[in-house]
Amino acid sequence: MIKSFYLFKKDWQSELRTRYAINALVMFILVTISVILFSVGQEKMSEYLTGGLLWVVIFFSAMSGLSRVFVSEEERGTILTLQLIASSDTIFTGKMLFNLVLVFLMNTVITLLYSILFNSFVINNVWLFVIAFIIGNIGIAVSSTVIAAIIAKANTKGTLYPVLSFPILLPLILVLLQLTKFAIDGKTIAESYAELIVLVCYDVIMITASYLLFEFINKD
Amino acid sequence: MTNYLIELDNISKTFGRRLIFKNISSKFNSPDIIGVAGKNGAGKSTFVKILANLISPTKGKIKHFINNKLIEPEKVYNYTGFVAPYLVLYDEFTALENLFYCCKIRGINYEIEYAKELLKNVNLFERRNDYVKTYSSGMKQRLKYAFALIHNPNLIILDEPTSNLDNAGKDLVYNFISSLGKEKLIVLASNEQTELKYCSKIIEPEKYKE
């Protein structure tokens, strides 16, 4: 775990110097939210619609920045260096940590901006939303990391990432939409238990499958 | 002295339908200098990448032993130093930062004095705090030697070891090869006769196509 932490630290320091992902993410978030604001205009949006659009913004922002963890290594040719100093598990854990931090930062900013800019986005059960948000972000970070590792070796990285991510992230996004609706309705955590368990199962399955697959992706 | 052994058992490699080599079986034991020769595109780099466990052979098995104890394939990187023109270090870090992360991500202690000594050996000490992106291609190649030796590996793989180097740099590499070859296992892939003359045994992957 310490090795993965240093890999995360290396990536973070590198990100602060190169701004490979952060700039793209910030711009994407600003542009997407602005486009929604302009297109809605003076219209009153329903609470459910704003809840749904929040996850649309999060999904597409994830598509624009989270693939960078592997794509930047592949494009700069440093992936071989990484393979020479770390095992597959260390690489995956380090990259996943980086994406986790990025996803939490990105989604917290999006949600805060969203709450400020859209009056109809009112969460009645904040704790349910926070729990769904945390478990959901873990799922997004893990899935995006393993998909990034797969597409990094392809020629059409930009196109392939959203295409490959959509079927993998769809079950997660659907459950998150449902939980956001419950949080808006003010349902209790006990009433949303089944959906929360589905989210946890998704995370466990994705983490397990990613660790099993990553060695093959990394080596060949 | 630590004994390092690599056993190749009928290894073959194909990319799609293109056969690179097949059925190479051999044993390399330290201390020794093994050459991998052949013209461009003969499969030298593919062969050394398989030795370093960076890619898998299509068929056959490769085993690494240290003092007769089998090394798990996942751990081979800890015993391997690798230098190649296609190896790229992190441009946004300084030479010392590159060596620091190399040690820390491997999970070994970072000894700054040893790192400085290595940089002195490759004539980069004065530029140790400069970003690698400001280095010339020859300086980057010399830094790769410090990177390859920082964890004191038992197996050193050199693919085109003098690429981008001037005469002084080449002499530096030849001194490395002759001194390290007395205690470690060196695999040297090259098509330069001046480099291959250091080798006790030469393998030519392109001759293994039948």
Contact list, A215 vs chain B (CB under 8 Å)? 74
| pLDDT interval class at A9 (50, 70, 90) | very high
Task: Taking residues A37-58, report their average pLDDT.
Answer: 85
Query: Which residue, A165, A195, A184, A132, is CA-closest to A61?
Result: A165
| pLDDT interval class at B46 (50, 70, 90) | very high
Q: How far is it, in rounded angstroms, from Cα A209 to Cα A211?
A: 6
Name residue, tokens 């006769």: B193
Q: What pLDDT, on the 0 to 100 scale, is given for residue B49?
A: 92
Q: What pLDDT, on the 0 to 100 scale, is given for residue B207?
A: 84
B76-88 tens-digit pLDDT:
999 999 999 999 9
If one compares B143 and A162, the residue with the highest pLDDT of the two is B143
Residue of B83, B88, B105 for testing the chain A interface, max A β-carbons within 10 Å? B105
Which chain A residue has its CA at the smallest distance from B83's CA? A81
Whole-model pTM? 0.89
Q: Is the pLDDT of residue B174 over 70?
A: yes
**β-strands B155-159, B59-66: how paired?**
unpaired
Task: Taking residues B104-110, report their average pLDDT.
Answer: 91
Q: Which two tokens stand for residue A61?
A: 């922002």
Q: What pLDDT, on the 0 to 100 scale, is given for residue A81?
A: 92
* Contact with chain A for residue B82, Cβ under 8 A: yes
| pLDDT interval class at B97 (50, 70, 90) | very high
Query: Which residue, B142, B102, B147, is CA-closest to B123?
Result: B142
Give the minimum alpha-carbon distance from B105 to chain A in angstroms, rounded to a whole number. 5
Give the minimum alpha-carbon distance from B44 to chain A in angstroms, rounded to a whole number. 17
Q: Residue A6 and residue B104: Cβ atoms within 8 Å?
A: yes
Q: Is the pLDDT of residue B101 over 90?
A: yes
Q: How far is it, in rounded angstroms, from Cα B29 to Cα A161?
A: 45
* Contact with chain A for residue B101, Cβ under 8 A: yes
Of B74, B77, B90, the CB nearest to A78: B90
Task: Taking residues B133-139, report their average pLDDT.
Answer: 91
| pLDDT interval class at B161 (50, 70, 90) | confident
Name residue, tokens 């081979």: B76
Q: What pLDDT, on the 0 to 100 scale, is given for residue B157?
A: 93
Q: What pLDDT, on the 0 to 100 scale, is given for residue A128?
A: 92
Which chain A residue has its CA at the smallest distance from B81's CA? A84
DSSP annotation of B190 = -
Q: What pLDDT, on the 0 to 100 scale, is given for residue A72?
A: 85
Q: What pLDDT, on the 0 to 100 scale, is given for residue A74?
A: 85
A92-129 tens-digit pLDDT:
999 999 999 999 999 999 999 888 888 888 888 889 99
Q: What pLDDT, on the 0 to 100 scale, is given for residue A121?
A: 82
Give the minimum alpha-carbon distance from B88 to chain A in angstroms, rounded to a whole number. 5
Q: Is the pLDDT of residue A12 over 80?
A: yes
Report CA-CA distances (Å) from B113 to A105, A156, B14, B100, B139.
38, 45, 44, 11, 20
Phi (first) and psi of residue B69, to 5 degrees: -105, 130
| pLDDT interval class at A217 (50, 70, 90) | confident
Q: What pLDDT, on the 0 to 100 scale, is given for residue A220?
A: 66
Contact list, A18 vs chain B (CB under 8 Å)? 92
| pLDDT interval class at B156 (50, 70, 90) | very high
Look up the CATH number of domain B4-207.
Answer: 3.40.50.300
A191-204 tens-digit pLDDT:
889 999 999 999 99
Q: Is the pLDDT of residue A159 over 80?
A: no
What residue spans define the domains of chain B? 4-207
Q: Is the pLDDT of residue A158 over 90?
A: no
Q: Residue A18 and residue B92: Cβ atoms within 8 Å?
A: yes
